[in-house]
Structure 1
């Protein structure tokens, strides 16, 4: 048996699979982030541990096969700063990926050419390095005690193994990693007043990070268990969907939106605001565009209309209409790709006395699709191959939204059959490879396809025109905000 742990922003999911990759059982436990000030987002790492123990207890109680556990992999939300002192005590709540308080520090680091040159990425406010500079400036008593900086997945690795170990894919989002060389950069660390001894040991995501602690193994009723290096959540999702090589990728419609393309080589393009990160398997990288408010845009509209997202979308039916007059810019929390703009905010334009709720819902769905098109255009500019993409995430349950995105991207979208795929499965697969030494390509295969959503050919040109107008709206709106 192999266990995949998906440490998400709002909850933890644990998935147990057998050596054929079949799902045996899963369990979830939930928690929440706190927002003490505008732009802040924090979480107590103790809640992650409590959620993990709760999920494992449920799996053990409902699946006796758990006793045959041989490998564990952890996937986690990226960029979070979990700060430990010399005795491994957590010094303050983890500053999460969607926390933007360090935008000034991020801009200062990004102004230094060495960061884009070595890390292959823009220094975004959500990344880890600027968070530590913020702590140094605003919480100097905490900064003085920092002995280790761990990402959320690495913190669970520490809990499981007793060792400070992180993988390359997750660490690529810190702004401290030489992404081409797959190692910590002393130059980047020094430029942000950090030291290499404050970083965890690096391993590939599919390599062993250590063994499950003896006391945990005894408490969980298992024997020797290998813990993999693990992965950042999107790299793990790529492992779960089988996106390891050029031409493979996915669109994820979650809280944030992601368009990810696997790359056979290292092809950085920081000026595009794409993320170029190490993959969770050796000698592979991936690139992705990230928009901060995908299903979150629909959730926001639902919250102010008093309806659920489903109640908003269902009246539109499943027939894709032409683009409407109402336009929505989905920048509710700023934007990453392609603008790298923490200050921009969303907007509706084209409203009239005849505008209906349905018009606004369609505009939100379209605005998110156009945000993903921004990422597709940036990826194409780097030479990435974009063919048929898998569609995953909660928003992919909407047939209309998938038709809209397929048409806007002018690419077919494949929807996996009902079953397991994504970050939890990817994490379990990493645990399997680490424990057995199997070839990742043999284990991390694509899932069966349940349906393929083709672009609606007669509307591609109309949505192309609407996309060009969407692109022109950003600088105009930015100028008056």
Structure 2
């Protein structure tokens, strides 16, 4: 048996996978966010640990025999979060998260200090990345910065608490702006630009590599016998790719989680910073990937659900499983700024075209379409960086909705595949990495593709209408930016 844990933004998921690769059980614990100032987004690192342990506690309580047979554990997690530890290994402050936008000025400073940043890290300096956050801490919280002994990403902190070892994998490390992504090693030059050195960084391993052993007290708590290997793991997007079997160059998927991602596997380091495309290491040795990132995908629907005090499912139900054309309302899904293609932490969301006769369903549809239009922006950015993407698997919480999948197909103009277990892709990918670390099997034998539940093909007349709507939608951001 193998266990995967996904340290997300809104919650932690744990999934138990049997030797045949089938999911036996899942458990989840919710997490809360803190926004103490405009553009700020923080979490208590110990909340991740408590949620992870609690989720496995739930599995052990209901599936004790299966949990006792676990031999490998993999971790995936939200990327970029700055978890600052003192010499005692305890957090010095709340973690600054991926969707925190406070460090815009520090991004400009980092690019000035390190002209070779793009060539080494393969990415623009953006407030979501980890390195600018440390420059912000150095400027605004110098007493805390002076006490920083180690900087860990979220899942690395959970690993530390589970094993006692400070270790990071290549895919997550690539999102810090401290990694030489092509060479798959920490860059002393990039670290110096933020006042840090190699001693501040955890040891690096590949995602499928054994990183540490589960602490004996936790193995005993969960009834696990013998040594339990903890794999290097992966950032959430790379872990989702492992769960989807996206491990060969050209494989691609669209994730509609809290954030949104268009992901493509590459056989080499292929940076494209001019279009705000991310170029990262994959979770397997010798493989890389490109990503376009939207900061508010399913989060946009969750926001609307909260504002309207109506569950998301109830908002979607009146629309059915397909719509005949675009909503008359346009929505910009930039609730937390945006990365690809705008790299604008100050971008904000907007509804345009509201009238007295506007109904709730038109607003709901506009939110789904706004996220799909942003995904088309990302698809265009990746297609401009290399070969066009011909089809995508759909994962994340948004993959539950056949309606949203059809809207994405019509907006993107390519087939969109809804897949089995699309909502637990990252946790499943983590479990697969745990298996690879424990068994040393061939990744191609373990990282198989999930069964496709349905293929949503673009409808010609609707796609044409969405093409025109997308063109008008594209005009909104530059117009509103001036305001």
Q: What TM-score range do you get, normalising by the shorter chain? A: over 0.9
| Pair 1:412 & 2:415 matched | yes
Tell me the residue number matched to 1:7: 7
2: CA distance, partners of 1:204 / 1:384:
27
Unaligned runs of 5+ in 1: none
2: CA distance, partners of 1:398 / 1:333:
23
1: CA distance, partners of 2:51 / 2:423:
21
Higher mean alpha-carbon deviation, 321-330 vs 141-150, is at 321-330
Q: Is the 8 A contact 1:279 1:286 kept in 2?
A: yes
Tell me the residue number matched to 1:97: 98
Deviation of the 1:437 alpha carbon? 0.7
Deviations 1:87-111 (A, max 9, x none): 2122111111111122211222134
Deviation of the 1:300 alpha carbon? 2.5
Structure 2 matches for 1:162-177, cutoff 5 A? 162-177=164-179
Deviation of the 1:285 alpha carbon? 0.8
SS of the equivalent of 1:354 reads coil
2: CA distance, partners of 1:51 / 1:305:
28
Deviation of the 1:385 alpha carbon? 4.6
Tell me the residue number matched to 2:28: 28
Higher mean alpha-carbon deviation, 315-324 vs 233-242, is at 315-324
| Alignment match of 2:183 (pick from 163, 181, 184) | 181
SS of the equivalent of 2:394 reads strand
Q: Is the 8 A contact 1:257 1:372 kept in 2?
A: yes
| Alignment match of 2:232 (pick from 229, 232, 237) | 229
| Pair 1:389 & 2:361 matched | no
| Alignment match of 2:457 (pick from 451, 454, 459) | 454
Q: Is the 8 A contact 1:245 1:262 kept in 2?
A: yes
1: CA distance, partners of 2:137 / 2:423:
39
Deviation of the 1:419 alpha carbon? 7.6
SS of the equivalent of 2:207 reads coil
Deviations 1:306-338 (A, max 9, x none): 333222222222232222332222112211110
2: CA distance, partners of 1:256 / 1:417:
20
SS of the equivalent of 1:12 reads strand
Compute the TM-score of the two structures, normalised by the length of structure 2: 0.96
Alpha carbons of structure 1 residues 166 and 470: separation in structure 2 relative to 1, 3 Å: same
2: CA distance, partners of 1:369 / 1:263:
24
Alpha carbons of structure 1 residues 114 and 358: separation in structure 2 relative to 1, 3 Å: same
SS of the equivalent of 2:475 reads helix
Q: Is the 8 A contact 1:274 1:289 kept in 2?
A: yes
2: CA distance, partners of 1:105 / 1:419:
37
Deviations 1:196-235 (A, max 9, x none): 1100000000001112223333333321111111110111
2: CA distance, partners of 1:387 / 1:202:
34
Structure 2 matches for 1:183-332, cutoff 5 A? 183-222=185-224, 223-332=226-335
2: CA distance, partners of 1:4 / 1:390:
21
| Pair 1:422 & 2:420 matched | no
Q: Is the 8 A contact 1:6 1:76 kept in 2?
A: yes
SS of the equivalent of 1:19 reads coil
2: CA distance, partners of 1:417 / 1:102:
38
| Pair 1:337 & 2:355 matched | no
SS of the equivalent of 1:250 reads strand
Deviation of the 1:71 alpha carbon? 0.7
Alpha carbons of structure 1 residues 70 and 304: separation in structure 2 relative to 1, 3 Å: closer
| Pair 1:120 & 2:122 matched | yes
1: CA distance, partners of 2:39 / 2:151:
22
Q: Is the 8 A contact 2:397 2:423 kept in 1?
A: no
Deviation of the 1:159 alpha carbon? 1.6
Deviation of the 1:418 alpha carbon? 5.3
Alpha carbons of structure 1 residues 44 and 177: separation in structure 2 relative to 1, 3 Å: same
Alpha carbons of structure 1 residues 311 and 220: separation in structure 2 relative to 1, 3 Å: closer
Higher mean alpha-carbon deviation, 49-58 vs 439-448, is at 49-58
Deviation of the 1:160 alpha carbon? 2.2
1: CA distance, partners of 2:302 / 2:406:
20
| Structure 1 stretches of at least 4 aligned residues deviating more than 4 Å after TM superposition | 418-421
SS of the equivalent of 2:296 reads coil
Alpha carbons of structure 1 residues 349 and 27: separation in structure 2 relative to 1, 3 Å: closer
Tell me the residue number matched to 1:159: 161
Q: Is the 8 A contact 1:248 1:387 kept in 2?
A: no
Deviation of the 1:436 alpha carbon? 0.7
Higher mean alpha-carbon deviation, 81-90 vs 294-303, is at 294-303
| Alignment match of 1:350 (pick from 353, 358, 372) | 353
Tell me the residue number matched to 1:39: 39
Compute the TM-score of the two structures, normalised by the length of structure 1: 0.96
2: CA distance, partners of 1:208 / 1:412:
37
Deviation of the 1:143 alpha carbon? 1.0
1: CA distance, partners of 2:422 / 2:277:
30
Tell me the residue number matched to 1:50: 50
Give the total of aligned pairs: 480
Alpha carbons of structure 1 residues 414 and 189: separation in structure 2 relative to 1, 3 Å: same
2: CA distance, partners of 1:375 / 1:190:
32
2: CA distance, partners of 1:49 / 1:418:
24
